Amino acid sequence: MSQLLEVNGISVTFDGFRAINNLSFNIGRAELRAIIGPNGAGKTTFMDIVTGKTKPDEGTVLWGEMSRNLIGMNEARIAQEGIGRKFQKPTVFEDQSVEDNLLMALRNNRRAFAVLFWKPTDADMNRVSELAAEIGLSNALGRKAGELSHGQKQWLEIGMLLAQEPKLLLVDEPAAGMTPEEREKTTDILVEAAKTRAVVVVEHDMEFVRRLNCKVTVLHEGSVLAEGSLDHVTANKQVIDVYLGR
């Protein structure tokens, strides 16, 4: 699999504490990857580095066909490169309909000068229908986002990020606070989304990770402790010790 993202030897120190310690691993194109690890392992800091929020002390994050180094680019530039991030808490426009939320996300994907005069075309409306189908909200297009369940809001936000056609989507604990049915559907949405772009999911819930059925990277003290299938990494003695706090 050709690589989309190559993390090479990054380290980050906060007040003398190494939150990320010589971290290296790769993400392929159209790959679904789960990142797990105990609290404080460096998962959030890793996402902050990739999205340009935190600058590492050393190392490179090479991106795309041209292997451009993302380190040193600002957050807006990195978003333009095609890296989207979904935080835990959904941020949708509650007073607007599902359709309008998706349309706004499509509009925001256009160049700044075009946004002011933007009128959705038939192609845009088709794209909204496709996105709604992808996130399981085809029957809710006319509903106000504020009336949706927690899970549906999360899916809407995923749809809004997909509207921006990312090549890589970083998703932080998507299943938190969801019902079992919503979790199952979230798995389907992420698996489907990862067919045409890379999706990296940071998640604590092992059952959720099992259902994603993808390669897992275990972080511990800012480095990769183990990598492979969930069965492979959970059979690793060091991983067991870390999770049991030994």
- Contact residues toward ligand ADP (CB under 6 A) are 14-15, 17, 19, 37, 39-45
Q: For ligand ADP, which is the closer residue by CB, 58 or 188?
A: 58
| Rg value, the chain, Cα | 18
- Helix, strand, coil share (%) of the chain residues, nearest 5: 40, 25, 35
In angstroms, the Cα distances linking 25 to 46, 50, 154 are: 11, 12, 28
Q: How far is the CB of 227 from ligand ADP (least distance, A)?
A: 16
**How near is the Cβ of 12 to ligand ADP at its closest, in Å?**
8
Smallest distance, ligand ADP to C-beta of residue 14, A:
3
How near is the Cβ of 52 to ligand ADP at its closest, in Å? Answer: 15
**In terms of CB distance, is 37 or 136 closer to ligand ADP?**
37
- Who contacts 171 (Cβ-Cβ below 8 Å, separation ≥6)? 85, 86, 158, 190, 199, 200, 201, 202
Least distance to ligand ADP, CB of residue 43, Å: 3
What are the φ/ψ torsions at residue 154 (nearest 5 degrees)?
-60, -40
Q: How far is the CB of 45 from ligand ADP (least distance, A)?
A: 3
Q: Which is nearer to ligand ADP, 41 or 230 (CB)?
A: 41
Choice between 101 and 234, CB closer to ligand ADP: 234
> Between 60 and 223, whose beta carbon lies closer to ligand ADP?
223
Nearest Cα neighbor of 60 from 25, 30, 34 is 25
Q: How many CB atoms lie within 10 A of CB 77?
A: 12
- Give Cα 207 distance to the centre of its chain: 18
- Specify whether the backbone of 12 is left (phi greater than 0), alpha (psi in -120 to 50) or beta: beta
Instruction: Give the residue among 145, 165, 133 at the shortest CA–CA distance from 92.
Output: 145
- By C-beta, is 40 or 228 nearer to ligand ADP? 40
